[in-house]
Each structure stands twice: as C-alpha cells, then as structure tokens.
Structure 1
C-alpha cells in the first residue's frame, strides 16, 4: 500500500526518535530510506549505501530499481553514489539526458525511468561512510528548497547512522570479549584437570590440549569444554 507524503519536519522528528538497541543498523537504514522517500519532495525511490573498506553495499532501498542502480555503479566502479561516499558532499544530477559526468550510468538510469537524482555523503565513522541516494522520475525533480531539505535530512540521518553503527560495534566487541573470557575460563579449567591427572606443568597441559585440537580438527576451546564436561559427569 502506497504511503502518503510526510511533512518534512515530521520526517526529521522521526529520525530523532530512533532508539538504539531496539533496531539493527540495517533496520535503521531502512527506516531512513522510507522516511526520505516520504519526506523529500520529488523523491520516488531512495537507497542507502554503506561503504566499509572497499566494499559498498546497498543495505536499504525502497525498490529493486534503486538497489539495481546502486549496484550498477558498484559493478562499474564509479558513479554519483560512490563519489558522494568518498567526498562526503552532495551531488545533484538534475537531468540525466544532459548529464556528462557519468554518462553511462545516466543512460542506465533513464532506461529505468529515473531522470534526476541526489546523492549525499553520510560520514559515519573514520572507516565507514555512506550515501543517501534519492531518485526522481522527472527531470529537475528537486528544486533548490527540496535540495536544501534533503541535505538537512542527510545530516540528521548521518547522526542516526553513526550512533547505530557505534552501538552495534560496541555491542559486538562486548560479546566477543565475553566469549573470549568464557573460552579462557574453560581452557584454564581443562588445564587444571590435566595437570591433576598427569602431574604436569601448565605449559605441558596446554600443549596436550593443542595437540588434541589439531588431531581432531576442533577448536581448543571445544576440546577443553568436552574435557570439563566429562570430568563433572555431563558426558560419558
């Protein structure tokens, strides 16, 4: 069901209501794309590109067409979406018929019914950038006021994405640290069992765990956990 246009002020307010921890990074990007489509006058479809290292991805889009236009740029190594990601600026393509910076991509866009576009860089973190891509179905779909509104929306979106990415990164790091601590604890327990049974040093106990790990093609942590479970009677 087609959603009605959204007052730009309400679109910006919705961005500010995004609560960290209640949505994944991709969900936040999808919400940004949907709000931009409804809140930016002239927008027919929207996509959000994320560039981590040298691997761009369209993780949110309001139509397959928007995703495919982005992916055409990824495959050919150039276009307004990628250039805006790198520069962090705003690239306006008012008329695909007269566009000479990316003529091949402009021709592809025209074939898909897109005749104007905006690509706005989204600085997220030092190693992570993005782009908000807004596509129009007629030439000059975005007037000066609409472009300024889109730029303001992109600035709000960049903050929301930066916060979501930081939250996700911090949560992932905490989970990895917790897993590492749990792994270390079970390995230390297994070493203690081996030392008690064989009257050997900690180094010799760990060497034995490592050998069993290599011989059985299992992680040291899994070998250690099996030994601990056997010692306390969880396994035969």
Structure 2
C-alpha cells in the first residue's frame, strides 16, 4: 500500500514515540529524527546539534557523516542560523543563503560551496529551555511550506521531550548529565567510525552506515555498538 505524505508523517511520529522506552539511546532517537525529517520534509540533509554544559553547540546526529555537512553546521554554530535559533528559541528560516548577513560569511561561503542554498533551524525547546537545534538544509532556494515547518517543530518537540524524559526542568544537573552522555556517545561513535573505516577500507560516511545498519539489525543502540567496536569486542 502506498502511503500519502500525511500518513507517512503520522507514522514518523509514531516511530519517534516508540523510541521513548526504558533505557532508550538518545543518539538513536536523534538519528531517527534527522532521517525522518529529511524523508518527509524535503530536506537535502539534516542534523541535530545539542548544547554542552558551557552552552556550545555540537553535532550529535546527521543524515550524512560526510565532513561537508558537519563542517557547515559547526560554522553555523559559531555565527549562523543554528546559533541564532538556539539563542532566541525561535525558528530561523533562510530562503536564500546568498542573502544572509555579512557576519555569517564563513557559514554562507561554505554552505554554498557544498551545494546548500536554503536552511531552516528549528529549536529543540521545552517551555523556556532550549537545548539544541534541528537543522534542515535544502538545495533549492525558497521558503519551506508552512505545514512542513509546523511538522518540523513538532518533530523537534518530540525529540526534546524524549531527551528530558522523566526529568524535571528543576533538576538541571540531571539534564546536563543526559546531554553530556549524548555528547560523550558522539565521541565514541567518531572513534568507531575511524576503526571501521580503517579495517574495512571504506570512507568515513560508509563506515557510519555500516555501524548504524548493524545496530538496527541487531536492535542495539548505536553508541553501544560503537563502544564494542572501539574496545575491539566487535568487528564489522
């Protein structure tokens, strides 16, 4: 049966909700978020950035592990739509990256060089607290349809609730530990990518795909699989 786009989005919400189980893996949740966002919201590429305990944004999940996407997001974390969305807690949409302010020149130049011409940065927020951003990159100039923006914010909200699951906003220490766990998991994943790339003789992007696919086939968390690879308990 062929699903309509609306049916697909509803199933995407159900898939995200299914991730919120006991001992869920934050990285898996966010990886599902970016994959579903690109599939249903017309993004060429997408990624999630979370803030560490110092308020600095770092890439946690992306549809591609290629350096081009990660680098563009990191530049935007210093001066660009991502950091502005994080600091204001509001959606920042850029229909034509050529037109961004001069203070964002490093982000603009690199994004255009990599073929990205439009971006929407959506805050991961709960009430007044913003913990990161969902970033949708597109290869065509123009505004994202309003319905897509609404869906993107809803996706981001589900992910935020997941990250802060069973945590009170007053328990800031617990929240920081949860976010730091996600950031630490990313470091392990980076190391595992390097191991797989070297042992299998494949590019970094393909190495991550091998890790992710193995985790999904075996119903294990990506960070757990990565840890086993780094500790040489698992070979792919």
For the aligned pair, the TM-score class normalised by the smaller chain equals 0.5 to 0.7
Q: 1:140 to 1:165 in 2, by over 3 A?
A: farther
| CA shift for structure 1 position 31 | 1.6
Could you say if the C-alpha distance between residues 151 and 19 of structure 1 is closer, same or farther in structure 2, counting changes exceeding 3 Å?
Answer: closer
2-structure distance, mates of 1:92, 1:12 = 23
Paired with 2:146 and 2:88, the residues of 1 have a C-alpha distance of 21
- Aligned residue pairs, count: 165
For residue 184 of structure 2, what is the aligned residue in structure 1? Answer: none
2:115 paired with 1:113: yes
Unaligned runs of 5+ in 1: 174-236
Deviation, 1:38, is 1.3
Q: Partner residue of 2:97?
A: 96
- How far residue 16 of structure 1 moved from its aligned partner, in angstroms, is 1.5
Residues 164 and 43 (structure 1), Cα distance of their counterparts in 2 relative to 1, 3 Å cut? farther
Which has the greater radius of gyration? Answer: 1
Superposed counterparts of 1:173-212, under 5 Å: none
RMSD value, Cα: 3.0
Residue number in structure 2 paired with 1:137:
139
3-state secondary structure, aligned to 2:160: helix
* Contact map agreement 1:116 1:140 (CA 8 A) in 2: yes
Question: Residue by residue, what CA displacement relative to the aligned partner does 1:117-161 show, whole Å, maximum 9, x if unpaired?
Answer: 110111269887110001111111622232222222222222222
Structure 1 residue matching 2:24: 3-state secondary structure: coil
Deviation per residue, 1:27-59 (Å, 9 max, x gap): 22112111211121x211111000022332101
**TM-score, with length taken from structure 2:** 0.60
CA distance in 2, matches of 1:31, 1:120: 16
- Unmatched 5+ residue regions in structure 2? 179-236
